[in-house]
Amino acid sequence: MPDTVLVAYASRFGSTKGIAERIGEVLAATGLAVEVRATDDVAAVDAYRAFVVGSTVEGGHWLKPASAFLERFAAELGSHPLWLFSSGPVGDRAAGAPQPDPKEVVAARRSLRPRDCRVFAGAFDRATSDFSEMGLVERTVVRKFLPDGDWRDWPAIEAWAAGIARELVSAPAR
């Protein structure tokens, strides 16, 4: 029977990947079997007992690979324990303000019924970011207006992951 938890993510500049990796570390520290993978790298989900799925948020939307993942595996995700997280607000003002759920999460709340959904502040490092897949306008906007820094609240992320772990450890695998 499947006994592994999949932490799947879509990340533009690496911040969401870092959050997914930290969630995976917290889950693994409790004895759970965990795989952390980019949503694009997941071909099948039948080997997993639970899912934590996250994406960078841009313009109020998840990245396309994460949205496609939710659509492609909707039947499986909707019939297993599922948690969703979003990452994206950067800058002191944005990171400190309540953030609305991205549009895909609003829809997933209705159709997939995740156990919880969270929005975590993100990070951006202009010096190490890869802009090669961006168009000219998008690249210009990001370079001029996205502030450098790391606003991820690691204690909050770890506490959320610990709550997921407690729930999964107390529930037998299918």
State pLDDT tens for residues 32-68. Answer: 999 999 999 999 999 999 999 999 998 889 999 999 9
Distances (CA, A) of 15 to 59, 86, 132, 167: 16, 11, 17, 26
Residues 117, 119: Cα–Cα separation, whole Å: 7
| 141: pLDDT strictly greater than 80 | no
Predicted confidence at residue 1, as pLDDT, reads 39
| 126: pLDDT strictly greater than 70 | no
How open is the CA angle 155-21-66, to the nearest 5 degrees? 110
**What type of residue sits at position 76?**
E
